[in-house]
């Protein structure tokens, strides 16, 4: 079974631009979560989608948004990029929403975003 795939793997943008990252979950998985990983802040939860609905959202500004499609693929968008948005963005999928902490999340390799 194919794992979680994320595209693109690397991206370079300039301040003020916007960016869209894509995540394809493992086949059959309906929940997709997004995380930002930086050396300074570590790994921080962005949001979780299930059945095309956002179920949870972390403490990030409104410039960060996402969506999920009917085939469970998800995209996240960052508008008006800032230098501090440079990070590794990780996507994780699971069969069901993260209820009870029981369902295992499977992570993709991430998209490395560099903002110049």
Partner 1 sequence: GDSVTQMEGPVTLSEEAFLTINCTYTATGYPSLFWYVQYPGEGLQLLLKATKADDKGSNKGFEATYRKETTSFHLEKGSVQVSDSAVYFCALSVGASGGSYIPTFGRGTSLIVHP
Site string for partner 1, 56-95 (x = CB under 8 A): x-x-------------------------------x-x---
With contact defined as beta carbons under 8 Å apart, do 25 and 74 qualify?
A: yes
Whether residue 8 has a cis bond before it, omega within 30° of 0: yes
List 19, 21, 72, 110, residue binding partner 1 (CB under 8 A): 110
CA distance 99 to 89: 23
CA distance 103 to 28: 13
List 24, 68, 74, 105, residue binding partner 1 (CB under 8 A): 105
Selected range binding partner 1 among 14-22, 44-52, 68-76, 79-87, rule: CB under 8 A: 44-52
Of the candidates 103, 7, 105, 28, the one whose C-alpha atom is nearest the C-alpha of residue 72 is 28
Cβ closer to partner 1: 14 or 53?
A: 53
| Residue 25 binds partner 1 (CB under 8 A) | no
- What's the CA angle centered on 92, arms 21 and 54, to 5 degrees? 75
Binding residues for partner 1, rule: CB under 8 A, are 4, 33, 42-45, 48, 55-56, 58, 90, 92, 97-102, 104-110
């Amino acid at each position: 079974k194919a794992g979680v795939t994320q595209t693109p793997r690397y991206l370079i943008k300039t301040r003020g631009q916007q960016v869209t990252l894509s995540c394809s979950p493992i086949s059959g998985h309906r929940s997709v979560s997004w995380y930002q990983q930086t050396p300074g802040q570590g790994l921080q939860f962005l949001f979780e989608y299930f059945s095309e609905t956002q179920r949870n959202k972390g403490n990030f500004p409104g410039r960060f948004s996402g969506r999920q499609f009917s085939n469970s693929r998800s995209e996240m968008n960052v508008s008006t990029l800032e230098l501090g948005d440079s990070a590794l963005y990780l996507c994780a999928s699971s069969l069901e929403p993260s209820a009870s902490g029981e369902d295992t999340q499977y992570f993709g390799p991430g998209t490395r975003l560099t903002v110049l």
